[in-house]
Structure 1
Amino acid sequence: MNWRRLSAVAIKELRQIRRDRMTLAMIIGIPVIQLILFGFAINMTLRGLPTAVADQANTAASRAVVMDLFATGVVKPVAQADTPQELMSLIRRGTISIGIVIPPDFERRRIEGREAVQVLVDGSDTAVQSAAMQLAQMPLDDPGRVRPLTSSPPAPAINVVSFYNPERRSAIHIVPGLIGVILTMTMVMFTAVAIVRERERGNMELLIATPLSTAELMVGKVLPYIGIGLVQITLILLLGMWIFQVPVRGSLLDVYLASGLFVLANLSLGLLISTRAKSQFQSMQMTFFVFLPSILLSGFMFPFNGMPAAARWFAEVLPLTHFLRLIRGVMLRGAGLGEMWLEMLALAAFTAVMMTVAILRFSRRLD
């Protein structure tokens, strides 16, 4: 082996990497992004869970109990309700994760040592269940005061009731989210190489010669993958219900409508990447930069409420964040799309913006 020739090849490779901005960005960007995400944005300790209160007693003692519960930092008031039924409606829509019910006979229950406060929990997220259990460890030992657990605690005064997944099976929480993760990975990657592949195979000349408009070309590229996405959705649903007994409590039509809109959002993003990339390998590199923050910040792997505000704001831009709320709301809580119209609007706006930018950026010139 000639070390001179070997070093020449190595130097040539280093220079080529230096000229390739995308590869250089991955060398520096991947460790930086992962370090920031895992070290700063990922937090397994949940705080500030969105909560509503139905205080039917409306006494000084009941109000003091509510204030002390909020003082723990685990829950944060975002809405008000009058009845437990209204709390359940808010939980089903995804507006809140926890509902606190104080019955009209709160004072008598507390004095008799019976259950005086009930905490309703959205059990479709197992992390929320674990955080809510902290509230049950604080008995009401004095009027209007929530004190730490003592060596000889009285009967539990705060009862936590979990809905939608009382068995705390992780598959029920994960499988609906996998629909979004798989669609993000496949749909973005498929369309990210769509335009680039035409250039590399020499088919762009034929497309330029046709009377197709830019919009017709881009939409035509997307249509076949919509069918592929629907096939993937059906396969995941069937396997999830058969193997893991994951329920579909809402309308199956709502599941496909939400998933179809999410497929369009990912396809439009993939087309935008395809208009920017110079090769199929570069398009896959750019896809990785989209997939990594999506899976980490959307709430699929790590609790959304445990992230700092800046990370949550960034996550709101990602279509996977809104789709997870939709699919878990429909499948696990039986919510309708009309109750979660803001999430649908966010996906529709994302699709419109990405598709418009992709059409404007697409060039029908070979150079």
Structure 2
Amino acid sequence: MNIRRIISIIKKEIIQIRRDPPSLAMAFVLPVMMLLIFGYAVTTDVEHIKTVVLDMSKSHQSRQMVTVFKNTGYFDPDLYVESYDEINHLLDSGDARVGLIIPSDYAIKLHRGEQATLQLLVDGSDPLVARTALSTAQVITQKESYDIKVKTIRQAGIDPDLKPAVDLRYRIWYNPDMVSLKFNIPGLIGLIMQNITILLTAFAMVRERERGTLEQLIITPVKPAELIIGKLIPYIAIGFVDVLIILGFGMFWFNVPVKGSIIQLLIFSLVFLMGALGLGLFVSTVAKTQLQAMQIGFAIILPSVLLSGFMFPRESMPQIIQVIGYALPVTYFMQVLRGIILKGVGFTFLWKDIIILTAFAIFILGLSIIRLNKRLD
């Protein structure tokens, strides 16, 4: 291993990077754009569901029920119609997701102490919205029913025993408000870091081949390991700057503070970066053209989004799909990011994930060195 040859490769790679301003700009601008777009777009918090109301009762009680629905923040009952056909049309067109129908005898039955009926029509084409609408409506009606019964009993001069048979007391740790943004941002940081670094380095060796500079490297005494290390170091620096940028945006723009050690987070991010960059370099040693490198890169990126636990809980996936997810380094880095940022834990609890990330970085870099031989195919 010759340090001078490695430094020469580093200088050469820096010159090539400087000669490609669009790629350099993409390395710093794209992570911020992705974080902003995904940070606002990817959320499991369902609110402001468009709701159409058919109020045939037109009473104080019916208007109160609609107000309760609106005050939850989950429903926007701003559309009022006069017939079932209008509700069907709005649900069919997608202009409304929920239809609330209050019958004409709603207030009369409540006044008599009888059971009143509400009808809720839910567009089930989006199961997440449908489940949220249905469960929220059930909670609303149960609470209103309970309040009405208590009021009726008290009006009869009876003091009801309001103490429940079972008292459930709970505390939600790490994300008390259950805001999906706080869960998504750490995952986005890992996902963006992997995607950017793979795409940047996937073109490294392919660019050498297409520009004809690979032949010049073949006749030099540079060894494969020195070439890989020399090409890796500039991208490690770029990737680390990206880490600082998107971490800063996550903390100060999206107000997601790091509860654990930032120093540990940066060190572990460096380990992950080396593995992700090594994976990109491995792709570049396999691909013959930049198009092939891009296709292989996206073949890695898409499973990372779906199988790493970023969007969907891995526990609910079939066993074979979970095994595939275990082969992705970002799966472990998600645990590290969410552990440090959300829970405030450190190496004591995350050592297994760190060891796997370290082993993967060593393995993939070694594989890249083996794949890289100084001969043209």
Give distance in 2, aligned partners of 1:336 and 1:361: 35
Aligned-partner residue type, residue 349 of structure 1: A
Instruction: Report the 3-state secondary structure (helix = DSSP H, G, I; strand = E; otherwise coil) of the residue aligned with 1:159.
Output: coil
Question: What is the CA-CA distance between 1:338 and the residue it aligns to?
Answer: 3.1
Q: How does 1:96-111 map to 2 (within 5 A)?
A: none
Aligned-partner residue type, residue 241 of structure 2: V
Give distance in 1, aligned partners of 2:338 and 2:225: 33
Q: How does 1:116-127 map to 2 (within 5 A)?
A: none
Q: How does 1:53-92 map to 2 (within 5 A)?
A: none
Match of 1:290 among 300, 304, 319: 300
Match of 2:282 among 268, 272, 277: 272
Per-residue CA deviation, residues 86-134 of structure 1 (Å, 9 max, x unaligned), is xxxxxxxxxxxxxxxxxxxxxxxxxxxxxxxxxxxxxxxxxxxx9xx9x
Give distance in 2, aligned partners of 1:181 and 1:309: 22
Give distance in 2, aligned partners of 1:315 and 1:285: 20
Match of 1:244 among 239, 248, 254: 254
Instruction: Report the 3-state secondary structure (helix = DSSP H, G, I; strand = E; otherwise coil) of the residue aligned with 2:353.
Output: helix
Q: How does 1:177-256 map to 2 (within 5 A)?
A: 177-256=187-266
Does structure 2 conserve the Cα–Cα contact (< 8 Å) formed by 1:165 and 1:172?
yes
> Hey, what does 1:160 align to over in structure 2?
170
Instruction: Report the 3-state secondary structure (helix = DSSP H, G, I; strand = E; otherwise coil) of the residue aligned with 2:169.
Output: strand
> Hey, what does 1:169 align to over in structure 2?
179
Per-residue CA deviation, residues 166-201 of structure 1 (Å, 9 max, x unaligned), is 111222111111111111111111111100100000
Instruction: Report the 3-state secondary structure (helix = DSSP H, G, I; strand = E; otherwise coil) of the residue aligned with 2:164.
Output: coil
Instruction: List runs of 5+ in structure 2 lacking aligned partners.
Output: 1-43, 45-131, 140-161
Aligned-partner residue type, residue 306 of structure 2: L
Q: Does residue 1:336 correspond to 2:346, yes or no?
A: yes
Give distance in 2, aligned partners of 1:303 and 1:248: 22
How has the CA–CA distance of structure 1 residues 311 and 153 changed in structure 2, closer, same or farther, with 3 Å as cutoff? farther
Of 206-215 and 244-253, the range deviating more from structure 2: 206-215
> Hey, what does 1:50 align to over in structure 2?
none
Of 237-246 and 152-161, the range deviating more from structure 2: 152-161
Match of 1:354 among 344, 364, 374: 364
Question: What is the CA-CA distance between 1:158 and the residue it aligns to?
Answer: 3.2
Q: Does residue 1:302 correspond to 2:312, yes or no?
A: yes
Percent identity, aligned pairs only, is 43
Of 154-163 and 308-317, the range deviating more from structure 2: 154-163
TM-score by length of 2: 0.56
Does structure 2 conserve the Cα–Cα contact (< 8 Å) formed by 1:249 and 1:333?
yes
Does structure 2 conserve the Cα–Cα contact (< 8 Å) formed by 1:188 and 1:266?
yes
Q: How does 1:123-138 map to 2 (within 5 A)?
A: none
Aligned-partner residue type, residue 237 of structure 2: G
Does structure 2 conserve the Cα–Cα contact (< 8 Å) formed by 1:255 and 1:330?
yes
How has the CA–CA distance of structure 1 residues 210 and 155 changed in structure 2, closer, same or farther, with 3 Å as cutoff? farther
Give distance in 1, aligned partners of 2:248 and 2:174: 20
The CA RMSD measured in Å over matched residues stands at 2.1
Aligned-partner residue type, residue 208 of structure 2: E
Question: What is the CA-CA distance between 1:265 and the residue it aligns to?
Answer: 0.8
Question: What is the CA-CA distance between 1:210 and the residue it aligns to?
Answer: 2.0
How has the CA–CA distance of structure 1 residues 215 and 305 changed in structure 2, closer, same or farther, with 3 Å as cutoff? same
Aligned-partner residue type, residue 252 of structure 1: I
Give distance in 2, aligned partners of 1:178 and 1:236: 9
> Hey, what does 1:316 align to over in structure 2?
326
Instruction: Report the 3-state secondary structure (helix = DSSP H, G, I; strand = E; otherwise coil) of the residue aligned with 2:171.
Output: strand
Per-residue CA deviation, residues 297-347 of structure 1 (Å, 9 max, x unaligned), is 000011121112211122111101000000110111111123211000111
How has the CA–CA distance of structure 1 residues 220 and 155 changed in structure 2, closer, same or farther, with 3 Å as cutoff? farther
TM-score by length of 1: 0.57
Give distance in 1, aligned partners of 2:330 and 2:368: 20
Question: What is the CA-CA distance between 1:156 and the residue it aligns to?
Answer: 4.2
Question: What is the CA-CA distance between 1:155 and the residue it aligns to?
Answer: 4.6
